[in-house]
Amino acid sequence: MNRKKTESPRGEEEPIKIKTVEHAKDLKWPMIWYFLMGKLYSALPWKKTAWTCAGFPLELLIGFDIFPLHPENMATVAAAQKQSQRLIEHAESMGYSRDLCSYCKTNFGAVDTGIKMSLGGIAKPDIITCTNTICDTHWKWFQIQAEKLKVPIFVFDCPKIVSGTDERTIEGYINYMVEQFYDFFDFVKKHTGRELNIEKMIRASDESERMSVIWRDIYEYRKCVPSPYSSAETSASFFPLVVMPGVKQGIKFLKNIRDDVRRRAERGEGTLTRGEERYRLLFEGIPFWYRMRFMYELAQYRAVVTYEPYTFSFAPPKPVGLGYAESLRKVARIMMDLPYSYNLEKRIRYFEQAVRDYHIDGVILHENLSCRPSSTGMIDLKSAIQEDCGIPVLIVQCDMNDPRAYSDAQMKTRIESFIEVMEKNRKK
């Protein structure tokens, strides 16, 4: 294995570090804003909140002045605070299976134990809404919690665009989704008394697209060699895109990050503290939230994750400059046509294009025990990338929120073997 080592004055190996950009520390401000607003809206009786999920268009809630609370996001907080295993095991003691999604069980444990928000807890909402896009666990998970909390729930049924689906059929799917939007608006009015402010919803979509454009700009700079920004930072900095799209505090934060990344790219600097990067990686799947130093451990092999579909997928082009009806149709299409909803043929094309655009030397696929949709088809995806792109692909079986599925020794062995394969592939 070709791994450069630098000796410290004591004769010890000096570790390679990932350089964070100047404004990385400013993430605390949009996070503080989000948590304070969540507490405020939950405490004031005339304010309204909703539990929602990944893949749901938050602009719809903003149009009703309803604050989005995000159980999945709070589950990641629990993992980062080393609370997720305790909450998961508590949920299993309630009778839930070990094989059930660890986000779901973290939320079950958090609600049942009443853990505080700073450790991954979440307040009771006024309504609950979710979709079956991306995740096939959302609807049952949220239904169970709605019954337990005695809160009304609305579930969007999103059709799947399978291989061979023609445009006429897709238009029919869009019509079906738009009908559900109107049903949802009636549901919100019935249970909250709120009327949709169309201008506010469209303005939120416009601002949300501003934020998404900034994020996509950052990814353009990540194509540079060496990469000026890595997954070690994007896994945190995409927070505003998930829970507060279009909010000015998030836009300001991401604009500063983009400027930092641009300056670094213009200087030809990479994200590692010393030496040039040697291996550029694509990481597919949700990170190990309880083990974020995994990305820093990769740096010791001069390997940089320079593209990950997971964080990129939170910045799809939003409808801008469209009327009310056309905006709803565009939102409907986005909900059905996200990278995590792609059929296998489209997913393979998407990955192979990313390999070319980002000059990828190897791909790591996280076969997530908690996420069937993202893990389905990985063997076929691996075979296609290896055959068509000529680079090695490693599949790792872990879990996004359950530390029990992660083994330090096993992961180290597999990563070192993967590095050796990439090195041999480079020499060819």
286-313 pLDDT tens trace: 999 999 999 999 999 999 999 999 999 9
- Cβ atoms < 10 Å from Cβ of 196: 19
Instruction: Name 129's bridge partners.
Output: 154
Domain range summary for the chain, segments of one domain joined by +: 25-198
For residues 113 and 118, give the distance between their C-alpha atoms in angstroms, rounded to a whole number.
14
Task: Give the global pTM.
Answer: 0.92
Residue 1, pLDDT score: 42
Per the omega criterion (within 30 degrees of 0), is the bond before 226 cis? yes
Query: CB of 148 within 8 A of CB of 128?
Result: no
Buried b (16+ CB within 10 A) or exposed e, 109-126: bbbeeebebebbbbbebb
Query: Tokens standing for 213?
Result: 């454009």
Contacts of 264 (CB under 8 A, 6+ apart): 21, 228, 229, 270, 271
Residue ranges of the chain with per-residue pLDDT less than 70: 1-13, 274-275
Q: Are 316 and 213 in contact (CB under 8 A)?
A: no
| Cα 75–chain centre separation | 13
Contact yes or no for 286/368 (Cβ under 8 A) = yes
pLDDT (0 to 100) of residue 112? 96
C-alpha 97/C-alpha 85 separation (Å) is 14
Fold of 25-198: Rossmann fold (3.40.50)
Whole-number Å distance between alpha carbons of 119 and 323: 42
pLDDT of residue 215: 96
pLDDT at residue number 94 = 96
The pLDDT assigned to 245 comes to: 87
Which of 185, 178, 186 has the alpha carbon at shortest distance from 158? Answer: 178
The tokens describing 330, both together, are 């565009």
Query: For residue 338, which amino acid is it?
Result: L
Can you give the pLDDT at residue 321? 82
Beta bridge partners of 363: 282, 393
**C-alpha distances out from residue 150 to 91, 153, 189, Å:** 19, 9, 18
* pLDDT at site 13: 64
Tokens 């309803």 belong to residue? 66
- E-strand stretches of 92-197: 127-131, 153-156
Burial 241-262 (b: 16+ CB within 10 A, else e): bbbbbbbebbbbbbebbbebbb
- Phi and psi at 281, nearest 5°, equal -115, 150
Element (H, E) at 140: helix 138-149
Per the structure block, which two tokens stand in for 146?
Answer: 């709605």
